[in-house]
Every structure is written in C-alpha cells, then in structure tokens.
Amino acid sequence: MSRYEDRLNDYNRRQHADKLIFHTLGELVAMCGKLHNTWLYTNVDKWEQDPLHTPIYYFNEEWLEDQLAEGQATENERGDIVTHELRDAGLQSWFEMATFEDVVEVLHDAGEPVTLPMIVIALKYYYEYDAFLDYDDVEARLQLHDVLKQVADEQTSES
C-alpha cells in the first residue's frame, strides 16, 4: 500500500464531528487516533490552573465558518471563531488535534506506562516551547515536582 493510500485510509477511518466537548483531559486522550485533524480550543488560563478538568472543545473549521456565516458565531480578540454560546468562555485555539496526538505518541513510544500528569507536563512544554519532551524528560520533571511538593508540605507542617 502506498503512503497516499495509508493516509487516505487513516483519514477515512477517523470521525469527522462538527463539535465535541471533552470535559476532562482523559476524555480527549481516549479519542487519540479517532478524530479528524482540526483545532482544539480551551480557556488556556483555566487549563493552566486545572489541566485535568478544564473543558476542551473540538470544532470542525468548516462548521465554525458556517456558524459565522449564519450569525451563530463571532471572532474573538485573537481572531478565533467561537460560537455565541461560548463567546464569554475565554476560549482560544490551543492545539491542532494532530499535534496533540503527536505529543501523546512521543510519550507512548517509550513503551512505558503514561499517566495524565505526564501528558500535562508534555503538553505544557510543547505549548510553551513548540518542542517535544520524551518520556525520560517528562518522568524526571514529574519526579522533581513530587520532591518539591514533599518539601513544601514538610515546611508547611513545621510551621
């Protein structure tokens, strides 16, 4: 099978939904490899505070354009199209689904168990630096976070 045929088969097997809402990061991770590539939207400030429970929205770009043409959507200050019902939610384009999947796939390539906190670390790094962290780098950052939390907890209990 040619590369073109492989890509066409991959494209055809993926869902082409107009709008999906993922209430948790885990729900979105479970859909990796199942959705057509389009932009994911979230309130980045809220996601930074609670990445596991901040809603993430999947919008088909053509559907958004149709919503805009029908007067059911508007452009926000960043130039992102958002539906009227979500215009006050602080949404902005965040990741393309394919990039999100790539960040997760890099971690899975190690063949080791991948946790949601590891995915959060890798996503935050990619979002800030436009670069991937491999499994070992994420694991080291997670261990450092755990040590710093233990130190902070001990200082708090001593006070």
3-class DSSP state of 29: helix
Contact 129, 109 (CB under 8 A): no
DSSP code of residue 35: B
Question: Rounded to whole angstroms, how far apart are CA atoms 29 and 87?
Answer: 25
User: What does the block give as tokens for 100?
Assistant: 């999100």
* DSSP-assigned states of every residue in 76-142: -TTS-EEEGGGTTTT-EEEEEHHHHHHHHHHHHTT-S---HHHHHHHHHHHHHHS----HHHHHHHH
Break the chain into its structural domains and give their ranges: 3-158
Q: What is the pLDDT along the chain (159 residues), one digit of tens a residue?
A: 788 787 777 767 667 789 999 999 999 999 999 999 999 999 999 999 999 999 999 999 999 999 999 999 999 989 999 999 999 999 999 999 999 999 999 999 999 999 999 999 999 999 999 999 999 999 999 998 878 778 877 888 777
